[in-house]
Structure 1
Amino acid sequence: MFRVLNKMFDTNQRDVQRIMKSVVQPVNALEEETKKIEDLAAAFTALKVRVQEGGESLDDVIVPAFALIREASRRSIGKRHYDVQLIGGAALNAGRIAEMRTGEGKTLVATLALCLNALSGKGAHLVTVNDYLVRVGAEEMSLLFRTLGLTVGVIQRDMQPAQRKVAYGCDITYVTNSELGFDYLRDNMAQSPDQLVLRADTPLNFAIVDEVDSILIDEARTPLIISGAAEKATDQYYVIAKLVKKLNRGEPAEPGKRDEPTGDYTVEEKSKGVHLTEKGITRLEKLLSIDDLYSQTNMEKAHMITQALRAKDLYQKDTDYIVSPEGEVIIIDEFTGRSMAGRRYGEGLHQAIEAKEGVKIENENQTLATITYQNFFRLYSKFSGMTGTAKTEEKEFLDIYGSDVLVIPTNLPIIRQDADDLIYRTVLGKYMAVVNETKTMHATGRPVLIGTVSIDSSETLSRLLHEAGIPHNVLNAKYEAQEASIVAQAGRSDQVTIATNMAGRGTDIMLGGNAEFMLGERLEAMGHSRYDQNTENFVKSIMRRDGNAQQLGALLPGVTPQFVAEAEAARDAVEADRKKVQAAGGLHIIGTERHESRRIDNQLRGRAGRQGDPGSSRFYVSFEDELMRLFANDRVVGMMDRLGMDDTQPIEARMVTGAIERAQARVEDRNFSTRKQLLEFDNVMSKQRETVYAQRREVLLGPDSDVEESTEGMILGYVDAQLAEHAPLDADHESWDLDALRGGIGDAIPALENFDWESLISMPAEQAHRKVIAAVADAFDARKAELGPELLNGVSRYVLIQVVDQYWKEHLHGMDVLRQGIGLRGYGQRDPFSEYKFEATNMFNEMIDNLRAEVTKYIFRMQVGGDVAA
């Protein structure tokens, strides 16, 4: 019955069929006609004219555009888009999330929507997770783009602003999520138009987010922050790190067991929180020789102690971070296993970890600009995403981004066999079982990919495999330089690979190995770019066996007939090995621990069974694993005890698998709540940020008339505020404070020094207000006449930007302090979020008032040819 209901209400299949009829079939009908077109670039430019000058929409030209893109791909890189890839391209253009299995060619699918949206002339971005994938993706598809007359830019971490500006000005730009976000923030800190790197007119037009679940869900818990050094001593962290070593970890209160917590502090591993007990607070106050740890004076010490305890008990070396040979603490991405150079934990946690490890402590930072990924990508006119695993997170994509998920059918049926989990009592028992299974598979010649969740576990398994005499490769954050090469060859017979998380690796595992990748590596070692036209033609010729390899190889210095023969032999060896591995059963996946997100487990499993290949997978779990220890049911352990099961006997039962699924669901719900709370708090900031950035951009890029209007508006806004405070319309004249009004306005505008303030008492309130505002407007006109419009506008532009930046920076610092302490309001039975909104609004209004006052003083007190008077 449920299958029937699901089929009735599942719109995915209907959507796929609709795209087949409206896009794929018409594109296929144009294929033969498109093959006859000699100049594809000219044909594509004609479509550009129809969109930019003829007023047609992208949907109007999607069929001929896709036909041209497919033909350009076939001619330039030898790859023809499958029908299912055309479906994916249409979904991306519609602003949807496309779920495509590993090996289905997402890189090629993206070219359809990128080229189509480039027709608007407003730019299209391909956003992915690291510099390597940015570079390779752009280089691999550059011939296709050039065939259509499109330009492509690449953003890398070490590029200069001028280079970035050129790259963003291209039709299509490949960039990482962090570089793109930081460029947006830096643009909104620019002091002049020439410092902008994103397009000034349409900075955020269209984006495809690759590995969209990794970027918009996993990384969304951490906002992007640009910081500047703050004036705060760092040696205190060393003192605190030594101090917390003297504290004893206890157990929290638990009904029926303990009425009070024990020890000096307790730890909440699920939420990564620590809590001092009364005993711990008393002990710390004695050690620090202070009276009240939580007084206003000592709040910073209390915060540093909390972070030091979190660093001590909750953040582990080689799991959460590594220490580089240079003594730098580098965060490890828990979802991809990659090192995140340049990223730092906030709120003093990174400094606490540095103190714990005894390395140099970098200065505390102050926030200069910040935004969450959620609010950043919602700034795009249209954005879409693609990944191998998104359907389980569709609710979050809909709730936060307004994007639904379309599951794209595979080109060939999936025949991978996924075995049930095996659950062991201890980690050691589990690891020994993994080694035994690896040994069994290795003996048959099957390649094995072992997935781990931390560097520590990958190195433990590596040691055990060495002891068992099994040769293998290790891929984790310590060996990222060899990443692509290791992954590309992980499908060869007898190959055993240990990898710390496989999300977003970007390189397919092909059975028998990847001959094209190996040949490209050899050519690069000889000094050739594998994406150069001549190199591409030579490699394709080798792979196609078209008989032109010797002739094409002669165009490449150093490529001898012997080299060609060796390349052909290597290709044949890979093909023979592919057949051998297929006959043996394909790639076998071993998961050594369930990740807190089932989505990440599915990404690991998806590495086997690509494009109809055989394959298999199994996960090994122990009751000592973090997920099981924190969330699974204790009754299962009790059952093992009663049955007398030892460490060599696994459980393979639906009850345990269900417990794991429920544990993962609870963790995912908790993480979703964390992300949603972060977004709710940032939404308050987002409205303020949009107001400030819009005003700033208007001043930076707008004409002189807009700058003059903004300046006069700020001055009159300041005067209105002073009148409302000291001479309100609804109050008796006797209650007006004319001295305060004279001081507030007269101090800012010296030209009103001789204004008759006393005369205001004798006239109606509205008339009095009009008289003051008219006098201020006259003073502004006189100032304009004195300085000249050009000079006034030039200085106004400078003053507005400088004052806005200064007050916005101070406001962000105040918001940081408010955010850190707002949770304490809950103890007073007040909703922290409501309190945060209320306080944040008051702080923003106060900032605007101060900002207007400062601008008014600068404009009227400025000295021509000299410094601005204080």
Structure 2
Amino acid sequence: MFGGIARALFGSQNDRILKGLRKHIETINGLEGEMAALSDEALQAKTAAFRERLAAGETVDDLMEEAFAVVREAAKRVLGQRHFDVQLLGGIVLHQGKISEMKTGEGKTLVATLPVYLNALPAKGVHVVTVNDYLAQRDAAWMGRIYSFLGLTVGCIVHGLDDSQRKAAYACDVTYGTNNEFGFDYLRDNMKFRLEDMAQREFHYAIVDEVDSILIDEARTPLIISGPADDSSDLYRKIDALIPSLKEEHYEKDEKQRTVALTDEGTEEIERLLTEAGILQTGALYDVNNVSLVHHANQALRAHKLFSRDTDYMLKDDKVVIIDEFTGRAMEGRRYSDGLHQALEAKERVTVQNENQTLASITFQNYFRLYPKLAGMTGTALTEAAEFQEIYELEVVEIPTNVPVARLDEDDEVYRSAREKYDAVVEMIEECRLRGQPVLVGTVSIEKSEAVAEVLKQRKIPHEVLNARFHEQEARIIAQAGRPGSVTIATNMAGRGTDIQLGGNIEMRLSQALDGVEDEAKRAQITAEITADVESGKKKALEEGGLCVIATERHESRRIDNQLRGRSGRQGDPGRSKFFLSLEDDLMRIFGSDRMDGMLKKLGLQDGEAIVHPWINKALEKAQQKVEARNFEIRKQLLKFDDVMNDQRKVVYEQRREIMRQPDVHEMVTDMRHEVIEDIVARAIPEGTYSEQWDLDGLHAEVLRLLGLNLPVQDWGKEEGIAEREILERIRDTSNRRMAEKTVNFGRDLMRMAEKQLLLQLLDQQWKDHLLSLDHLRQGINLRAYAQKDPLNEYKREAFSLFEAMLADLRGQVTSMLSHLEIRTQSPEEIEARMAAERLAHEMHETRADPALASDVIGTVEDDQELRATGTDGVPPPQRSASSRVSADPKDPSTWGKVQRNAPCPCGSGKKYKHCHGALN
């Protein structure tokens, strides 16, 4: 109550922010006449003048008002559109690095041109992030006309571009693209071996369109680049065939937590089934040698009991394609990890793809926090303002509409059964259609959108269905959804970014109708006819009350509901929205509809009757707030864990860049070798011990293994008065001479190139293995809570220890590889070209995965095939990956390198390696 009184007296915080920006609007408006008087050439010359002023010491803040006035004038001349004052407000908010909440149809795409132009003036690159390729290409072409007119370059990043095209696009002043493409390019760049091969520049400024969708809805799902692991598709199919035999008493399912687990009876039953099928050979299911079977059985159980076709995923072209739970879009190329996707493929009898090994990953949360300055725009952000502030330090500012909103939001209607609800929905659709009012029907899944479509088909009501199955036609369908009497069914309001204009979208209709028409007279006639048709359609739709939004269910998040509502009432148009609910809806069913159903029976609610009351709306909003708060806590907790890896990722990626920047890394690898020598001497000769206590045999073995030197360490230890320091210096001096000899033998340039390439490849191998270790650590860390320990603190502590161990292993491997190095007689250019070709040939996959399903498969990264390690003095070389097949001699195991345990034994026996030379004695 007191808060309401304070707001009435002093205004809200949002009001105070907007009031403070009004003075800028007045200044920009004051410059409008001056800019309008300039010729095109004089207006275009402003860009060079601004850049000169920046070079002279002014800041972009100093230029803001004048630059905004220039963009407004350019938009009038190029697009025939003038920025409204509220759009200028939105542009200032974006320039300040905040989120601008603007209602649907208020022209966010045009608003972005203001801060984009201003922040592109320093020539450091501005990224504009959209949710799909269509919007990226559309906006780059549409708004790009303004930037090109003012002398800026514009690029667009879409799927399918090669490295040179990407690099050219990132070199532009303004670059449009999708969140996925920007994120994957960052990961790909940090797997390159030369700075000149990297596509992206240093991060400067980004504007994220539909910021709530990208930074909230997709925040839990990391981008993953992975390589193929061993094929186990047959096992997925065999185990999948057993799951339908399980009964309800064999497993426990929790819909709220989305978990399912075998009971004791279920474990016994699955053991029996696995044994009968010949899959479980020895022991019980949970024996250590059957861990893989437990994993496969659990994932098959999840696939059958928790995931539904056309709700969580759909089938397309012999593939299981994930459906985004928030937008209803098909997530092409995205796969669940940890074998769940393979389990779904086996369940649906489509081709089971190989599992993948994570090579690099990052969440959108951590990717977008790399930008020194970040801004966003959307129609719905206020409900998540706390999360934006806490996670991204982004303030949400609500921008007023240019014309007051005239939409009527009616109270929800709640029915006892889904059948009654859908009957009421269809009745309202028929009523609106007969009047000529356009209708948009919102559903939460493909399954439900097709159920509504089937009912309309039976009633012979013409309609369009917009869901993941018809993603390609999305823009066309949504652009025409405002025509009188049209009925459009949309899943979770797919189609964001394309306005529903009453009467239809004239640009879209003209582009389709004029395609291929060359005759000018004919083009003019078609244009006139379509323009007249759209105008009359708009008039009719306005007379009948504008767009009517009918929602068939409440979503877990109020924001998704608001997105659907916001499609109606665009730019002051009239509109109407109404939600139809039933006690059988997921949200109602999971959150206590049993009590309500009993109460309604007592009240004598008749079949087909609905409850309508503002209190119900408030009660549902409170339930949604609880779910939102819970989801926020989940995302926040996930981010805390991911931040641990992110800090380490930054260190590793910066180290890689530093290595690539250096003309040679000889000093770095020499320091590593000296640290390794100090470590092995310190372990063998602990400080303050007598010579009798020294482990000289162990030191001799380590020197032989790591440095390839057969030194008389035991004899040195018998010398009178010799100290640890002297032994250390003798080993180091001998090692230095040995490496100097190698440099002379191979040539300085070849040796420096070999050092650099080996260091990068071994760093990548160690980092990939470290990611795997962190995945394993993460999966079991929550069990520490049973020991009264904080899992997050335990994860931080152990992750740091693992990171230190990774760096120590890297030093040892680099030292060992270089000490045993033999190089074939080739030029550095030939070797580098060969290595680059082999790296390109290695297949990698880009995926999106749920972090709760983190991958735990093991694989390898290819080693350099031109850098051949051979032992000296009978010492076997360090282990190499299975893909490094350099002159392997079947009779000499020391030439085989690292052989995968399930691979054929290199000796030629025909047996698997683990059953032959790799057998454990």
Q: TM-score, normalised by structure 1?
A: 0.90
Q: 1:725 to 1:649 in 2, by over 3 A?
A: farther
2:112 aligned residue (110, 113, 119) = 110
2:441 aligned residue (450, 455, 459) = 450
Q: Deviations over 1:20-39 (max 9, x none)?
A: 21x32221111111122322
Deviation, 1:717, is 3.1
Q: Contact 2:466/2:494 (CA < 8 Å) preserved in 1?
A: no
Paired position in structure 2 for 1:243? 242
Q: Does residue 459 of the first structure (1) align with residue 450 of the second (2)?
A: yes
Deviation, 1:704, is 1.9
Q: Distance in 2 between matches of 1:243 and 1:829?
A: 39
What are the within-5 Å matches in structure 2 for residues 647-726 of structure 1?
Answer: 647-700=607-660, 702-704=661-663, 707-726=665-684
Q: Distance in 2 between matches of 1:761 and 1:226?
A: 58
2:816 aligned residue (838, 857, 863) = 857
1:98 alignment partner, SS class: strand
Per mean C-alpha deviation after superposition, the further-off stretch among 429-438 and 773-782 is 773-782
Q: Distance in 2 between matches of 1:576 and 1:445?
A: 12
Deviation, 1:779, is 5.7
Q: Distance in 1 between matches of 2:220 and 2:447?
A: 24
Q: Deviations over 1:216-266 (max 9, x none)?
A: 1111111111111101411111112111111112xxxxxxxxxxxxx1111
Q: Distance in 1 between matches of 2:689 and 2:73?
A: 76
2:62 alignment partner, SS class: helix
Q: How many residues align?
A: 818
Q: Contact 1:632/1:659 (CA < 8 Å) preserved in 2?
A: no
Paired position in structure 2 for 1:253? none
Paired position in structure 1 for 2:260? 274
Q: Contact 1:752/1:779 (CA < 8 Å) preserved in 2?
A: no
Q: 1:737 to 1:55 in 2, by over 3 A?
A: farther
Paired position in structure 2 for 1:621? 581
Q: Distance in 2 between matches of 1:286 and 1:611?
A: 65
Deviation, 1:488, is 0.9
Paired position in structure 1 for 2:50? 47
Q: Does residue 804 of the first structure (1) align with residue 806 of the second (2)?
A: no
Q: Deviations over 1:6-54 (max 9, x none)?
A: 4548321111121221x32221111111122322332112212322x22
Q: Distance in 1 between matches of 2:689 and 2:592?
A: 66
Q: 1:631 to 1:709 in 2, by over 3 A?
A: farther
Q: Which amino acid aligns with 2:83?
A: H
Q: Which amino acid aligns with 1:648?
A: G
Paired position in structure 2 for 1:32? 33
Q: Contact 2:90/2:399 (CA < 8 Å) preserved in 1?
A: yes
Paired position in structure 2 for 1:216? 215
Deviation, 1:682, is 1.3
What are the within-5 Å matches in structure 2 for residues 32-431 of structure 1?
Answer: 32-38=33-39, 39=41, 40-51=43-54, 53-199=55-201, 202=202, 204-249=203-248, 263-289=249-275, 291-324=283-316, 326-431=317-422
2:318 alignment partner, SS class: coil
1:64 alignment partner, SS class: helix
Deviation, 1:311, is 1.0
Q: Contact 1:454/1:500 (CA < 8 Å) preserved in 2?
A: yes
Per mean C-alpha deviation after superposition, the further-off stretch among 613-622 and 81-90 is 81-90
1:649 alignment partner, SS class: coil
What are the within-5 Å matches in structure 2 for residues 558-597 of structure 1?
Answer: 558-597=518-557
Q: Distance in 2 between matches of 1:414 and 1:304?
A: 54
Q: Distance in 2 between matches of 1:730 and 1:500?
A: 73
Q: TM-score, normalised by structure 2?
A: 0.85
Q: Distance in 2 between matches of 1:781 and 1:735?
A: 34
Deviation, 1:696, is 1.1
Q: Deviations over 1:376-405 (max 9, x none)?
A: 111112111111111111111111111111
Q: 1:719 to 1:100 in 2, by over 3 A?
A: farther
Paired position in structure 2 for 1:820? 779
Deviation, 1:279, is 1.2
Q: Distance in 2 between matches of 1:578 and 1:348?
A: 51
Deviation, 1:780, is 5.3
Per mean C-alpha deviation after superposition, the further-off stretch among 632-641 and 760-769 is 760-769
Q: 1:47 to 1:152 in 2, by over 3 A?
A: same
Q: Distance in 1 between matches of 2:774 and 2:698?
A: 30
Q: Which amino acid aligns with 1:48?
A: R
Deviation, 1:677, is 2.4
What are the within-5 Å matches in structure 2 for residues 13-24 of structure 1?
Answer: 13-21=15-23, 23-24=24-25
Q: Does residue 630 of the first structure (1) align with residue 590 of the second (2)?
A: yes
Q: Which amino acid aligns with 1:753?
A: L
Q: Distance in 1 between matches of 2:710 and 2:254?
A: 62
Q: Contact 2:239/2:274 (CA < 8 Å) preserved in 1?
A: no
Provide the identity percentage.
Answer: 47
Q: Distance in 2 between matches of 1:6 and 1:633?
A: 37
Q: Which amino acid aligns with 2:769?
A: E
Q: Distance in 2 between matches of 1:745 and 1:56?
A: 60
2:581 alignment partner, SS class: strand
Q: Distance in 1 between matches of 2:599 and 2:688?
A: 77
Q: Distance in 1 between matches of 2:725 and 2:636?
A: 47
Q: Deviations over 1:482-534 (max 9, x none)?
A: 211111111111111111111562110111112222112223x22xxxxxxxx
Deviation, 1:839, is 3.2
Paired position in structure 2 for 1:4? 5
2:34 alignment partner, SS class: helix
Q: 1:738 to 1:423 in 2, by over 3 A?
A: same
2:685 aligned residue (727, 732, 751) = 727
Deviation, 1:737, is 2.6
Deviation, 1:67, is 1.4
Per mean C-alpha deviation after superposition, the further-off stretch among 672-681 and 728-737 is 728-737
Q: Which runs of 5+ in 2 are unaligned?
A: 276-281, 826-867, 871-876, 878-921
Q: Distance in 2 between matches of 1:519 and 1:28?
A: 34
Q: Distance in 2 between matches of 1:198 and 1:861?
A: 37
Q: Distance in 2 between matches of 1:754 and 1:57?
A: 67
Q: Which amino acid aligns with 1:211?
A: E
Q: Distance in 2 between matches of 1:27 and 1:787?
A: 67
2:112 alignment partner, SS class: helix
Q: Distance in 1 between matches of 2:183 and 2:290?
A: 36
Q: Distance in 2 between matches of 1:169 and 1:811?
A: 33
1:509 alignment partner, SS class: coil
Per mean C-alpha deviation after superposition, the further-off stretch among 671-680 and 314-323 is 671-680
Deviation, 1:562, is 3.4
Q: Contact 2:127/2:174 (CA < 8 Å) preserved in 1?
A: yes
Paired position in structure 2 for 1:543? none
Q: Deviations over 1:344-392 (max 9, x none)?
A: 0111111111011011100011111111111111111211111111111
Deviation, 1:469, is 2.7
Q: Which amino acid aligns with 1:214?
A: S
Q: Contact 1:450/1:497 (CA < 8 Å) preserved in 2?
A: yes
Paired position in structure 2 for 1:551? none
